[in-house]
Structure 1
Amino acid sequence: MDKFTVLTGVAAPLRVVNVDTDMIIPKQYLKTIKRTGLGTGLFADKRYHEDGSEDPNFVLNQPAYRKAQILVAGDNFGCGSSREHAPWALLDFGIRCVISTSFADIFYNNCFKNGILPIVVSPEDLEKLFDDAERGANATLTIDLPNQEIRGPDGGMIKFDIDAFRKHCLINGLDDIGLTLEKASAIDSFEQKLSERAWV
């Protein structure tokens, strides 16, 4: 998993509440267990017309937001079914951070396991971030995880809370496998002692 320390990038505004995982990645894209290639299916029902052409009105199809790395979204983001393909699709598109006033629990947990930082802010702070994001590619946000700050293009700053263990994992690029591998020497030692005792 890639480390997350400081990210400066374009933020796309998605003024939609209750964005569920089916909207994030529709069911027809769930046939794969690969984490790559899902970016094309991200918000597919919103991004594309029935004939497959892009809908120019959807935010991620607009020139200013095609390379967005941050998503500023409405309340209750990631609700619905617990598909891990949702954070996979966001990450494959290039989104490393999602900011909202609340997240569905399973989606929230899945983000951390896949290197995406979900940030919870107040409704007032979210509105400020929407204003920043709606300026387009000329106004970027900086997400500073070590200092737990969101810095806007005009020098404004918003602090955010995060669980210390999850922060540690993101900064060090540790998913569940990485956490286990940190204990590799202790595991090897235990297995060695166990194998020796088995023949006594």
Structure 2
Amino acid sequence: MDKFTTLTGVAAPMPLVNIDTDMIIPKQFLKTIQRSGLGKNLFDEMRYNPDGSEIPDFVLNQPAYRQAQIIVAGDNFGCGSSREHAPWALLDFGIRCVISTSFADIFYNNCFKNGILPVVLPPEAVAALMEDARNGANARITVDLENQTVTGSDGRSHAFEVDPFKKHCLLNGLDDIGLTLEKVSAIDSYETHAAQSRPWV
């Protein structure tokens, strides 16, 4: 998993509340177990007409936000059914950070396991960043995980809280497999000792 340290990028404003996982990646795209390739179907029903043509008004179809790496969203982002495909689709599109006043618990935890930083900020901070994001590609937001701040293009900085363990994992690019591999020496030592002391196993 890629490390997350500091990110400066275009933020897409999505003020809609209760953006659920079926909106993020509709159920018909859940057949794959591959983490790649889902970005093209991110927000599929909001991005495309039934004939496959783009809906011009949708934010990620607008020229200023096609390369967005941050989403500033309304309350309760990622609610609905539990599906890890939702952060997979966001990451495959290029989204590394979602900022909201609140997240669904399972989605929130899945983000950290997939290299995405979900940032919880007070309503007034999210409103300020939402307004900033509406300025388009010239308004870049900086997210600094080490110092736990989000800074808008106007220079205003907003502090956020994050669990120290989750922060450590993101800063070092450690998913569940990476965490296990940190203990590989101890695992190898145990396996060697077990093979010698219990050769019949």
Residues in 2 aligned to 1:55 and 1:135: alpha-carbon distance in whole angstroms: 20
Q: CA deviation at 1:31?
A: 1.1
Distance 2:75 2:153 in 1: 23
Structure 1 counterpart of 2:53, one-letter code: S
TM-score normalised per structure 2 = 0.98
Number of the residue aligned with 2:50:
50
Q: Distance between the aligned counterparts of 1:172 and 1:14, measured in 2?
A: 29
Residue in 2 that maps onto 1:33: 33
Q: Distance in 2 between matches of 1:99 and 1:160?
A: 10
Q: Hey, what's the Cα distance between the residues in 2 that align with 1:49 and 1:144?
A: 37
Counterpart CA distance in 1 for 2:154 and 2:132 is 9
Aligned-residue offset at 1:199 = 3.6
Q: Judging changes above 3 Å, is the alpha-carbon distance between structure 1 residues 199 and 50 closer, same or farther for their aligned structure 2 residues?
A: closer
SS in 1 for 2:130: helix
In the alignment, structure 1 segments of 5+ residues that lack a partner are none
Q: In the alignment, which residue of structure 2 is the partner of 1:141?
A: 141
**TM-score, length of structure 1 as denominator length:** 0.99
User: Letter of the aligned partner of 1:197 in structure 2?
Assistant: S
What is the aligned residue count?
A: 200
In the other structure, the counterpart of 1:102 is: 102
State the percentage of identical aligned residues: 71
**Residues in 1 aligned to 2:31 and 2:188: alpha-carbon distance in whole angstroms:** 37
Structure 2 counterpart of 1:124, one-letter code = E
Q: How does 1:76-95 map to 2 (within 5 A)?
A: 76-95=76-95
Q: Secondary structure at the match of 1:9?
A: strand
Greater than 2 Å deviation, 4+ residue runs: none
Alpha-carbon distance in structure 2 between the residues aligned to 1:134 and 1:104: 25
**Structure 2 segments unaligned to the other structure (5+ residues):** none
Q: CA offset at residue 154 of structure 1?
A: 1.4
Secondary structure at the residue paired with 1:17?
A: coil
TM-align CA RMSD: 0.8
